[in-house]
């Protein structure tokens, strides 16, 4: 069997295909990765990092070839695809730079004894990745896992398998891909030789993956969905630059981003002013159309089901946004919309939309808006907007979110040095920063207490004594 991928901007066009991986083939690939991992982990860290450096150069050289392919299979505009591939290269090089300081052994030899802490790989890491940012979200797992000495088996989404398949082939390292749906994913995540699972995706998929991994007692990193609030305080600027950022924070990748700004909260007294400024910004920065066309900043949603779900969220009276140069009858296009003052209990507000439609609600005071912002079971990202940075940071400390942006939101607020991940039911574990590197190693200890070392100055304590330091 093969998996064919249609172009969501022209669904009559088949972009390409990959072979589907049956469960017995998954077993063969995992066992091969397990065998390869031992020799890979035995290589010096400097050798492994040199291999990753060469892979980064190869990906960089292929960006102009890969970006249109990614645009055609995912519906993301081609400029964003170039940006994603370039960012993946930047992250890979960041890992090469920072891995020696994280993965090296740590040794202490003092009055308390001799202690060695070793950073050891898990073995085979299963990376289960989504379609909306298939290259960078895979690289966040591939780069640190390989650097640490693990082997990696990637299961991409069948909605965007083509470009990541090409990227994986550029690594001269123990990394493999398996393709398919839930059955293939279950065979990988539940395999007895998989020692760590890294998953990015929706909450429902996360539950299934966590249950399978839990049955094997396999540790996981889970980056799940979000329903990110953006709170504009009463002194927030609605100038062009701020509004342009906020519009794209909601509508980049057609709103299909876990950390998109999905609920907008503004002071009730400024609701009309905000709506006007937001609509003007959308007119400047938002053009919906063919992802390969010049000037287009938003493409289609990923599938017919996503198109139906998005249209169902848009009520009568919603404000259409930006320029719309697309035909919904030949591609999965949805005109972006702003919904002003919806029912606070409407699904558009209480659930993750993952669509190009966003609500804005007026709030009476900061205590109330904080309650609204923290409502629900998700806690991935949030943002606060204010002319006073100290005030913004003070307010941000009360968010129930893993990552809070100040005066921006979504990818413009990310940093390679800042750990990213959710709280509540938006997942656990972290990506980026040193925390993202340590997810792929286990700390193993060798310890000789001072009292039991040759020539110890003091007599050892009793045979069941507690440690003194």
User: Using CA atoms, how far apart are residues 7 and 10, in angstroms rounded to an integer?
Assistant: 5
* DSSP-derived secondary structure for 218-263: --EEEE----EEEEE-TT----HHHHHHHHHHHHGGGG--TTSEEE
Strands 323-324 and 287-288: parallel
Whose CA is closest to 268, among 387, 383, 368?
Answer: 368
Phi-psi region of 330 (alpha: psi -120 to 50; beta: other; left: phi over 0): alpha
Q: How far is CA 375 from CA 28, 262, 345, 380, 405, in A?
A: 45, 13, 11, 12, 18
Is residue 132 a contact partner of residue 161, using CB atoms and an 8 Å limit?
no
**Vertex 192 angle, CA 434 and 140, to 5°:** 25
* DSSP-derived secondary structure for 66-83: HHHHHHHHH---HHHHHH
- 398 secondary structure, DSSP code: T
**CB-CB neighbours of 402 under 10 Å:** 22
Q: How far is CA 433 from CA 106, 198, 203, 416, 424, in A?
A: 19, 16, 24, 6, 21
Look-up of token digits 């006073």: 388
Whose CA is closest to 320, among 278, 292, 351?
Answer: 278
Is residue 208 exposed (0-12), middle (13-18) or buried (19+ Cβ within 10 Å)?
middle
Is residue 340 a contact partner of residue 271, using CB atoms and an 8 Å limit?
yes
Per annotation, catalytic residue among 81, 258, 431, 439: 258
**What end-to-end distance do the CA atoms of the chain give, in Å?**
61
Q: Is 223 a catalytic residue?
A: yes
Q: Is 81 a catalytic residue?
A: no
Per annotation, catalytic residue among 73, 84, 223, 400: 223
User: Using CA atoms, how far apart are residues 199 and 219, in angstroms rounded to an integer?
Assistant: 11
Whose CA is closest to 262, among 131, 351, 395, 162?
Answer: 351
* Exposed e or buried b per residue across 306-344, where buried means at least 16 C-beta atoms within 10 angstroms of its C-beta: bbeebeebbeeebeebbbbebeeeebbbbbbbbbbebee
Is residue 129 a contact partner of residue 141, using CB atoms and an 8 Å limit?
yes
* Residues labelled catalytic: 223, 258
């Amino acid at each position: 069997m093969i998996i064919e991928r249609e172009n969501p901007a022209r669904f009559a066009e088949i972009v390409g295909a990959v072979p589907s991986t049956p469960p017995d083939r998954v077993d063969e690939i995992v066992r091969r990765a397990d065998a390869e991992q031992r020799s890979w982990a035995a290589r010096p860290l400097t050798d492994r990092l040199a291999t990753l450096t060469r892979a980064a150069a190869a990906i960089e050289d292929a960006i102009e070839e890969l970006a249109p392919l990614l645009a055609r299979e995912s519906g993301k505009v081609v400029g964003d695809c170039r940006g994603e591939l370039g960012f993946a290269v930047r992250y890979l090089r960041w890992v090469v730079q920072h891995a020696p300081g994280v993965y090296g052994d740590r040794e202490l030899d003092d009055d308390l004894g001799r202690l060695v802490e070793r950073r050891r790989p898990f073995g085979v890491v299963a990376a289960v990745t989504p379609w909306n940012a298939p290259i960078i979200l895979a690289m966040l797992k591939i780069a640190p896992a390989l650097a640490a000495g693990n082997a990696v088996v990637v299961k991409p989404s069948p909605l965007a398998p083509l470009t990541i398949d090409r990227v994986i082939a550029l690594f001269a390292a123990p990394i493999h891909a398996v393709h398919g749906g839930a059955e293939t994913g279950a065979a990988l995540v539940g395999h007895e030789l998989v020692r760590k699972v890294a998953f990015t995706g929706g909450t429902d998929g996360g539950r299934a993956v966590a249950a399978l991994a839990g049955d094997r007692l396999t540790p996981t990193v889970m980056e799940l969905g979000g329903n990110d609030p953006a709170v504009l305080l009463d002194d927030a600027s609605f100038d062009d630059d701020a509004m342009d950022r906020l519009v794209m924070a909601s509508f980049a990748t057609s709103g299909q981003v876990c950390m998109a700004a999905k609920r907008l909260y503004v002071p009730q007294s400024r609701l009309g002013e905000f709506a006007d400024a937001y609509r003007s910004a959308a007119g400047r920065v938002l053009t919906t159309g063919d992802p390969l066309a010049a000037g287009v900043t938003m493409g289609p949603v990923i599938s017919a089901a996503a198109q139906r779900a998005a249209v169902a969220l848009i009520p009568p009276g919603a404000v259409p946004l930006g320029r719309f140069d697309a035909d919904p009858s030949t591609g999965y296009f949805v005109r972006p919309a702003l919904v002003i003052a919806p029912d606070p209990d409407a699904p558009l507000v209480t659930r993750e939309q993952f669509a190009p439609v966003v609500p804005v609600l007026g709030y009476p005071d900061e205590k109330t808006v904080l309650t609204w912002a923290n409502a629900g079971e998700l806690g991935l990202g949030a943002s606060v907007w204010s002319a006073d940075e100290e005030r913004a940071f003070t307010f941000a400390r009360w968010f129930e979110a893993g990552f809070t942006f100040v005066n921006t939101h979504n990818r413009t607020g990310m940093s390679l040095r800042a750990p990213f991940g959710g709280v509540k039911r938006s997942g656990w574990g972290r990506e980026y920063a040193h925390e993202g590197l340590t997810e792929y190693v286990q700390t193993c200890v060798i310890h000789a207490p001072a009292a039991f070392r040759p020539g110890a100055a003091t007599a050892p304590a009793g045979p069941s004594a507690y440690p003194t330091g």
